[in-house]
Amino acid sequence: MANQFGLLGGSLDYSDAAADEFHDWLDTEHIPERLRIAGILNAVRWLGVENPKISLVIYDLENLEVLNKPEYLAVSFGNFSPWSKRMIGSKTKRVTRFACEQIDPGNQIAPANAGGLAAYAMNVAPEFEAEFNHWYDAEHIPSLAAVPGVLCARRFRSRGGTDHKYVALYHLQSPAICDSPAWKLAMSTPAANRFRERTTNRLHLLMRPYQRTK
C-alpha cells in the first residue's frame, strides 16, 4: 500500500462548560488552527445521540507523520493557546483521544454526507491480538460494511501513546441504522461475543452531525 491515511480524534464532555463558548472555541479557533496545516484533510464534528454534551472531532490525515510537523506541534499540547488551555484544562473532561493509522481499507476519507457515526475503540490482550485482527478484517468489518445504511467502514490502529490501540468508525445514513436487525445480527455473532470478552477499555460512541446554529 503506497500510503496509509491517518486519523486524529478527540472527544470531550463539555457538561461543565457554557455551550456557546465551547462551540465558538472549536469552530473559530481550535479546528481552524488545524485545518491550516498541510496534510490535515478535513475536520468533522459530532455530538452524542444520547448525551449531546459529548463532543467528538475527527480529522483525516494524509499520514500520521502530519502530527510531527512543527506547524502542528506549535498549536498542540504545551503550545495550546490560552483559550484552549482553559477549555481543555478546566471546562471539559476528556472522553478519549486517538491518533492512529488506517489499516482497513487504508486510504479512505470520511464521506461528506453521513447522518450518523458509530465509533468503537478498544484494547486487546497480546495473546489474542493476532486472532482478533484476523476476525476483524475478515469477518467483522465486511459484515458491518454490508449492512444497509452503512456508508463507510474503516479501521485504525494506534502506534501508542493514546487511550485505545484499535478504533473502528462506521459512517451511517442515520444513527438509527444501529437499531436495524441487520446491524444487530452482525454485532452479535459468536465470534463478536467472544472477542467482546477479550477486549478491554471498550468505548462506544453513537453520534449525530454537529450543526452550528448561529
Mean pLDDT rounded to a whole number for the chain: 95
Domains located in the chain, CATH noted: 6-209 (3.30.70.100)
- Per-residue confidence (pLDDT) for residue 161, from 0 to 100: 72
- Per-residue confidence (pLDDT) for residue 207, from 0 to 100: 98
The closest alpha carbon to 14, from 65, 83, 89, belongs to 89
Instruction: Give the β-pairing of 116-124 and 44-48.
Output: unpaired
> Tens of pLDDT along 108-124?
999 989 999 999 999 99
> Tens of pLDDT along 11-57?
999 999 999 999 999 999 999 999 999 999 999 999 999 999 999 99
DSSP string, 50-85: S-TTEEEEEEEES-GGGGGSHHHHTTSGGG--HHHH
> Tens of pLDDT along 175-191?
999 999 999 999 999 99
> Tens of pLDDT along 90-113?
899 999 999 999 999 999 999 989
Confidence of residue 213 (pLDDT cuts 50, 70, 90): confident
The closest alpha carbon to 95, from 34, 193, 21, 11, belongs to 11
Q: Do residues 5 and 89 make contact, with C-beta atoms less than 8 angstroms apart?
A: no
Q: Do residues 98 and 160 make contact, with C-beta atoms less than 8 angstroms apart?
A: no
How many residues are present in the chain? 214
